[in-house]
Structure 1
């Protein structure tokens, strides 16, 4: 099955980013793609919190989301928006939310990023997502044209328990939209994504932000599609563009029969014995 992966360099204005995404969905549809994948914070990437706050609204009040749902319905195409900031009006906090839209233009699943990026990097960069965002409550998987797809976002990638839960649930695909920094991307991006594909024996689709953004930050790029054996089917390097991959879904059964890891899995319920 053919999929489209949109490597973006999102700016601070949601309307421009949404128009860019809509154009990519139309273009992807014309090539025969059945699903479209965008990166984390596809609607807006802005580290100026005061400026960003002016554009962050509730999910129900987001006109860009409604527009992309309409485009998905017109193209008869499933759309994974990557993620977007959503305002929770009850507490004034935000969620970093993945939304999956089906070929009828209906929202089929939502997932809020569980692990928040609170770090100080050796480069001097400092990030505190928890100061404005609330973590999601738990894992979410959705049935889609590729099979059962487990949802995650960026920093979640470093927490294997989440992907172990998805593997136990029998997912066929893991979606990992991201906006990795350049230093962490160079060190860990490929290794972690291939590991998640191999462990879960599932396809991994990781649409990424790339380049120097309007707010001054730099992201790593290298959007990837990886098969259940860990083979890289698509690596988009650093250019802002749309990439395509053909997923051979029968590869899932082939890999799982070669190494029946899920069948051989043992539940670890006891604490570690320290000698």
Structure 2
């Protein structure tokens, strides 16, 4: 997606894509980071933050999951968290129920050589504190967001928690995406022997920020199964649990590792 400032318009565009997805079920659909509003600024995100479990964006996602009979992960949306908001990724089941919530742990406080220059997510965003997986029946799905991809220990923790697929809604900058995006996503897939599902924002947004695009689905051997470099639309790939199991059996790195990880604050 190339999300704009209007949640209503962005949700309409989500539904347009849902109408075109493959017919097979069960199916996991993942939206990009900040899919519901992008380019309005952090202050505006705080103003439109919803209480968890209530609000028009969450209600509409629930309706869409039920209508299209899919597991639907709403990239991230701002959830009220006091003076700041949580960048929450919420998973809805095919019956519309909220199955899991992950709040982005690693916040993008960096300097980038682009027209935005300074990114300070922590000023407005409250970091998450928990690694989250959700059992979708056909697979255990680990939840991560964008900048998390630079912290491999988190992905190891998700694998330890049973993840077969890890989703990574993202809005990588044009500069950092060109330099590192494909390498990072493929590395996490190879290291943890999981499918990586990484939907992305693309293009120039209303605040002038440029995002890289290149939505990816990568298999546990590091092979790109589907990619969309630019333009709005959906990509898909078949999840093959037997492939995951075979790779893990032939190269049992999870059993051979000498290190375990845990989340610390």
TM-score range for the pair, normalised by the shorter chain length: over 0.9
Q: Could you say which residue in structure 2 is the equivalent of 1:251? A: 243
CA contact (8 A) 1:95 1:112 kept: yes
Tell me what 1:199 maps to: 191
State the Cα deviation string for residues 32-68 of structure 1 (Å, max 9, x = none): 6712111000111124334444433323332121122
Could you tell me whether the CA contact under 8 Å between 1:34 and 1:77 is conserved in 2? yes
Q: Report SS of the residue matched to 2:178.
A: helix
1:17 maps onto 2:4 in alignment: no
Q: TM-score, normalised by structure 2?
A: 0.92
- What is the match of residue 148 of structure 2? 156
Counterpart among 90, 93, 108 of residue 99 in structure 1: 90
Q: Out of 45, 69, 73, which is 1:76 matched to?
A: 69
Unmatched segments (≥5 aa) in structure 2: none
Higher relative contact order (CA 8 A, sep 6+): 1
Equivalent-residue separation in structure 1 for 2:45 and 2:135 (angstroms): 33
Match of 1:272 in 2: none
Partner residue of 1:109?
100
- Which residue is 1:267 aligned to? 259
1:103–1:29 CA distance, 2 compared to 1 (3 A):
farther
Q: Deviation per CA, 1:255-274, whole angstroms, max 9, x where unpaired?
A: 112211111111269xxxxx
Counterpart Cα distance in 2 of 1:268 and 1:193: 21
Alignment partners' CA distance in 1, 2:95 and 2:53: 18
How far off its partner does 1:145 sit?
A: 4.0
1:209 counterpart residue number: 201
Residue in 2 aligned with 1:133? 125
Distance of aligned partners of 1:253 and 1:50 in 2 relative to their CA distance in 1, 3 Å threshold: closer
TM-score by length of 1: 0.89
Q: SS of the counterpart of 1:81?
A: strand
Give the structure 2 partner of residue 240 of structure 1.
Answer: 232
Alignment-derived partner of residue 185 in structure 1 = 177
SS of structure 2 residue aligned to 1:241: coil
Gaps of 5+ in 1: 1-7, 270-275
When Rg is computed on C-alpha atoms for both structures, the one with the higher figure is: 1
How does 1:36-51 map onto structure 2 within 5 Å?
36-51=29-44
Q: For each residue in 1:9-36, what CA deviation from the matched residue of structure 2 results, as whole angstroms up to 9, or x when unmatched? A: 0000111111111222233264667121
In structure 2, C-alpha distance between the alignment counterparts of 1:120 and 1:144, rounded to whole Å: 37
Cα RMSD of the aligned pairs, angstroms, is: 1.7
